[in-house]
Amino acid sequence: MIRFKLAEMMEKKQFADGRRITVSEVASATGLNRMTLSKLLNHKGYGTGTDTIDKLCTYFDCQVEDLMEHLPDESPNSTTMDSKSFSNAT
């Protein structure tokens, strides 16, 4: 699962700028919909497009890995494709 670190990035910007950063401000500055940002903040496993990621990286002046991270699946029965099974599947 991909986890977005939007809340952490907003906190860092708030600290660096010495003022409160709101979702509305991020939405206005990036041209992204407030609902999209809210889903990134609150909905576990929410997916979005590269354009959204690009706009957020530009706004926060950060790299993709600063904004998001990969977490292993939580379920113990989840199956993941290793590189060997992936190459056999293609």
Q: Examine the pLDDT at 69 and tell me if it is beyond 50.
A: yes
19 in a domain, yes or no? Answer: yes
Q: At what angle do helices 50-60 and 23-30 cross, to 10 degrees?
A: 110
42: CATH? 1.10.260.40
Its domain, for residue 29, covers 2-65
The tens digit of pLDDT for each residue in 25-60 reads: 999 999 999 999 999 999 888 889 999 999 999 999
Higher pLDDT, 76 or 44: 44
* 31 within domain boundaries: yes
**Mean pLDDT across the chain, nearest whole number?**
87
Residues 67, 59 contacting (CB under 8 angstroms) = no
In-domain check, residue 41:
yes
Q: Is 84 part of any domain?
A: no
**Is residue 86 in a domain?**
no
Tally of domains in the chain: 1
Q: Two tokens at 88?
A: 């056999």
